[in-house]
A and B are shown apart, each in its own frame.
Chain A
Amino acid sequence: RKPELPDSDSDGRTQTCQVTITMPLAQVIDVASPTAFDATVSEAVRTAQSTGASVVVLITSDSPNGAPWCPDCRRSDPVIESAVAAHGDDIVLVRSECKRNEYAGNPSFAYRKHNQLRLTAIPTLYKWSSKGPTNKLVEGQCANKELVELLLNEG
């Protein structure tokens, strides 16, 4: 909406003011660490249920030097961010970043063993129902805007 400008005052000087318009963004919840995952997701599911939103879970890499260390994550993070943002209040995104020294080459990494996540690669984007993951996109699929839309809408 155009901001309403105040009327010029009697001596002819006009006043201007800056207005910041904030768009409603999808709610993004960050998972502090793999041990906090279950509690964070349960809370997100509860929040979503009360507003009728859907939950998606993204397991991606962290960015110790300003950019994700995982190339697929680097390509897909912005695609997912913008797709999720466009859905506004309808999507709650739970985001968990993996540290390279915890994830790389570690077959016992917590998310690999997690009986719902069963992580095989990063990035993985899961559609998450109240009972757990329904469908997912893995690696290169996460950078495909159309596939991400498909998952958000019909996953």
Chain B
Amino acid sequence: TILARRVLRASARPLKGSRMLSWLTGQGDGKVDATMGDAKAVVTSGPGIGEHTYDYDLIVIGGGSGGLSCAKNAAMLGAKVAVCDFVQPSPAGTKWGLGGTCVNVGCIPKKLMHQASLLGEGMSDARSYGWEVPEVTHKWETMVENVQNHIKSINFGYRSELMTEGVKYLNAYAVFSDPHTIDCTDKKGKVTTVTAARFVIAVGGRPRYPEIPGGKELTISSDDLFSLTSPPGTTLCIGASYISLECAGFIQGLGMKAHVMMRSIPLRGFDQQMASQVKNYMQEHGVNFIEQAVPTAVEEAEGGQKKVTWKYADGTVGEGLFDTVLVAIGRDAETTKIGLDKAGVATNPKTGKIPANGEQTNVEHIYAIGDVLDGRPELTPVAIQAGKILAKRLFGGSTKAMDYEGVPTTVFTPLEYGCVGLSEEDAIAAMGEKNVEVYHSYFKPLEWTVPHRGDNACYAKLVVDKRANERVIGLHVCGPNAGEITQGFAVAMKLGATKEVFDDTVGIHPTSAEEFTILKVTKSSGVSAEKAGC
């Protein structure tokens, strides 16, 4: 999606010499140009390890995916490092341990609960395969306990890793008092002042709440869902983001009724054909979509339920009763209360995020990585890699830049959606319709045939650049194990693989991934992409 935004800007200027064009045409030797535009490697200037009078060579603010990766790698290179991590409780009072959003209230519990819901589906399919499965029910509390135990072991693993690497851990909220000094307040209110030659801001973001009556007091967010002590029950997920859809998806899959309220389109920024595919599958599996609507109030109702009222785009109103209201309307960068003004660090006034050039902010010795970075993908592996590469530039004499292009990702909705590269609409906008071809196919995983599941649910498409030998610039797949399918192809696309290379690669049979090696039907031909036969 970040790539998509650059593409749209590029179309306003001559393509020649633009960064986008250089990525699209690639380099014949398969190397990725690491010095593209503002992704240029910034080689740090400043004092070497210990060649200063500050307490630390590096202080990392934020102990999440990016922060811990940077801290650990810097320490391994000999730097004296401290990490400040502190979780402000959610409005509902939820807190968690070291590790950041992904580990505690993001990717990890999400994927585990998604898996829990898939297992339910699997047990149902199992009957067709001969298993005499009785009617099964799901116990939310057991799942939460086991998921939380796993998360706690990761929290402990990070604590012991930091200790082993000699990184000082401060469980305190860090606020800049000047460009080289932070005041850290622990949970008891005790303040410790520390200084550093360099800082990395990796504070990430937190869920945004709607400014409506009850919007904060009577709702929960992803901060709370994964540790709820009792099942959410009938749930309204407000938002069209992947967070909203993934949560609604597994709640429905675990046997409760899920509703999704969207202001406009699902999965903004993603390929919209694929987003529809995802949404339709969810609808067919019982999730109710309340479209073109925004909530206007959340009130207490009888029996602990919440009454939500909303307004449609055409002015009509609606209301409903839910056990739980989950808000997933967006996330805000945690930059408002950390004293950035005292450090002189600029933020984007629209997003609150920190713009950076090669992760370096406008203040030479202060860097930023992860979700707090303006204009970069908000993904754990991006933060981890950026953190590691930054540490090597700061303390290891490296000149390598973080490559933010061609980052694959997957949405873990009930029908998973994996993608890398451009959406079809962004490719057309950037290059013109006549220069884009799309190869596509509906498919049905072999495993779905016996239990008679979804005929036209799974779908794969390749978006190619006709001017560059049908170089594959976008890959999209809806289907089971979409993440596992997509990962390997991201490597091929980094090397500039063309449609011909995909065709020359022999498929593995019987798999879903092999679809990408046998795509024949183009959108431009108008021929149906539905499957018949073996």
Q: Which of B203-252 contact A (CB under 8 A)?
A: none
Asked if A146 and B163 sit within 8 Å, CB to CB, the answer is yes
Give the segment of A26-34, A84-92, A147-155 that binds chain B.
Answer: A147-155
Asked if B164 and A134 sit within 8 Å, CB to CB, the answer is no
**Min CB distance, B188 to chain A, in Å?**
16
Measured between beta carbons, the chain A residues less than 8 angstroms from B157 are: 135
**Min CB distance, B372 to chain A, in Å?**
28
Q: Which of B143-164 contact A (CB under 8 A)?
A: 149, 152-153, 156-157, 159-160, 163-164
**Min CB distance, B63 to chain A, in Å?**
15
Asked if A150 and B153 sit within 8 Å, CB to CB, the answer is no
Asked if B153 and A147 sit within 8 Å, CB to CB, the answer is no
Measured between beta carbons, the chain B residues less than 8 angstroms from A144 are: 163-164
Q: In whole angstroms, what is the CA distance A137 to B157 when docked?
A: 9
Q: Which of A38-65 contact B (CB under 8 A)?
A: none
Asked if A135 and B153 sit within 8 Å, CB to CB, the answer is yes
Binary flags per residue of B327-366, CB closer than 8 Å to A gives 1, else 0: 0000000000000000000000000000000000000000
Q: Which of A98-155 contact B (CB under 8 A)?
A: 134-135, 137, 141, 144, 146-147, 150-151, 154-155
Q: In whole angstroms, what is the CA distance A31 to B164 when docked?
A: 30
Q: Which of B137-190 contact A (CB under 8 A)?
A: 149, 152-153, 156-157, 159-160, 163-164
Measured between beta carbons, the chain A residues less than 8 angstroms from B152 are: 134-135
Asked if B149 and A150 sit within 8 Å, CB to CB, the answer is no
Closest residue on chain A to residue B162 by CB atoms: A150
Closest residue on chain A to residue B169 by CB atoms: A150
Measured between beta carbons, the chain A residues less than 8 angstroms from B153 are: 134-135
Closest residue on chain A to residue B159 by CB atoms: A150
Q: In whole angstroms, what is the CA distance A150 to B156 when docked?
A: 9
Asked if A155 and B156 sit within 8 Å, CB to CB, the answer is yes
**Min CB distance, B518 to chain A, in Å?**
43
Asked if B164 and A154 sit within 8 Å, CB to CB, the answer is no
Most buried by A among B152, B160, B163, B164: B160
**Min CB distance, B98 to chain A, in Å?**
10
Asked if B156 and A141 sit within 8 Å, CB to CB, the answer is no
- Looking at chain A, what size class is its interface with the partner chain? 10 to 19
Asked if A135 and B156 sit within 8 Å, CB to CB, the answer is yes
Measured between beta carbons, the chain A residues less than 8 angstroms from B149 are: 134
Most buried by A among B153, B156, B157, B164: B156
Q: In whole angstroms, what is the CA distance A85 to B35 when docked?
A: 57
Asked if B159 and A154 sit within 8 Å, CB to CB, the answer is yes
Measured between beta carbons, the chain A residues less than 8 angstroms from B156 are: 134-135, 150-151, 154-155
Q: In whole angstroms, what is the CA distance A61 to B163 when docked?
A: 26
Measured between beta carbons, the chain A residues less than 8 angstroms from B163 are: 144, 146-147, 150
Closest residue on chain A to residue B152 by CB atoms: A134
Closest residue on chain B to residue A127 by CB atoms: B156
Q: Which of B5-29 contact A (CB under 8 A)?
A: none
Most buried by B among A135, A144, A147, A150: A135
Measured between beta carbons, the chain B residues less than 8 angstroms from A141 are: 160, 164
**Min CB distance, B73 to chain A, in Å?**
20
Q: In whole angstroms, what is the CA distance A71 to B160 when docked?
A: 22
Q: In whole angstroms, what is the CA distance A147 to B166 when docked?
A: 11
Measured between beta carbons, the chain B residues less than 8 angstroms from A150 are: 156, 159-160, 163
**Min CB distance, A99 to chain B, in Å?**
29
**Min CB distance, B519 to chain A, in Å?**
44
**Min CB distance, B291 to chain A, in Å?**
44
Measured between beta carbons, the chain A residues less than 8 angstroms from B164 are: 141, 144, 147
Closest residue on chain B to residue A129 by CB atoms: B149
Measured between beta carbons, the chain B residues less than 8 angstroms from A135 are: 152-153, 156-157
Q: In whole angstroms, what is the CA distance A147 to B156 when docked?
A: 10
Measured between beta carbons, the chain B residues less than 8 angstroms from A134 are: 149, 152-153, 156
Q: In whole angstroms, what is the CA distance A134 to B150 when docked?
A: 9
**Min CB distance, A56 to chain B, in Å?**
14
Q: In whole angstroms, what is the CA distance A61 to B153 when docked?
A: 25
Q: In whole angstroms, what is the CA distance A135 to B163 when docked?
A: 15
Q: In whole angstroms, what is the CA distance A93 to B271 when docked?
A: 57
Closest residue on chain A to residue B156 by CB atoms: A135
**Min CB distance, A142 to chain B, in Å?**
11
Q: In whole angstroms, what is the CA distance A119 to B152 when docked?
A: 19
Measured between beta carbons, the chain B residues less than 8 angstroms from A151 are: 156, 160
Measured between beta carbons, the chain B residues less than 8 angstroms from A154 are: 156, 159
Q: In whole angstroms, what is the CA distance A134 to B97 when docked?
A: 14
**Min CB distance, A83 to chain B, in Å?**
14
Closest residue on chain B to residue A135 by CB atoms: B156
**Min CB distance, B83 to chain A, in Å?**
15
Q: In whole angstroms, what is the CA distance A20 to B221 when docked?
A: 61
Measured between beta carbons, the chain B residues less than 8 angstroms from A155 are: 156
Measured between beta carbons, the chain B residues less than 8 angstroms from A137 are: 160
Closest residue on chain A to residue B149 by CB atoms: A134
Q: In whole angstroms, what is the CA distance A68 to B149 when docked?
A: 33
Q: In whole angstroms, what is the CA distance A135 to B157 when docked?
A: 8
Closest residue on chain A to residue B157 by CB atoms: A135
**Min CB distance, B87 to chain A, in Å?**
15
Measured between beta carbons, the chain B residues less than 8 angstroms from A146 are: 163
Q: In whole angstroms, what is the CA distance A11 to B159 when docked?
A: 67
**Min CB distance, A127 to chain B, in Å?**
9
Q: In whole angstroms, what is the CA distance A74 to B36 when docked?
A: 55
Closest residue on chain A to residue B154 by CB atoms: A135
**Min CB distance, B143 to chain A, in Å?**
15
**Min CB distance, B224 to chain A, in Å?**
23
Q: In whole angstroms, what is the CA distance A147 to B159 when docked?
A: 9
Q: In whole angstroms, what is the CA distance A153 to B160 when docked?
A: 12
Measured between beta carbons, the chain A residues less than 8 angstroms from B160 are: 137, 141, 147, 150-151
Top 4 A-B pairs, shortest CB-CB distance: A135-B156, A147-B160, A146-B163, A135-B153
A-B contact pairs, 8 of them (CB 8 A): A135-B153, A135-B156, A135-B157, A147-B163, A147-B164, A150-B159, A150-B160, A154-B159
Show the binding face of B for A, using Cβ within 8 Å: 149, 152-153, 156-157, 159-160, 163-164
Add 10 more A-B contacts to A137-B160, A144-B163 (CB < 8 A): A134-B152, A134-B153, A135-B156, A141-B164, A144-B164, A146-B163, A147-B160, A147-B164, A150-B163, A154-B159
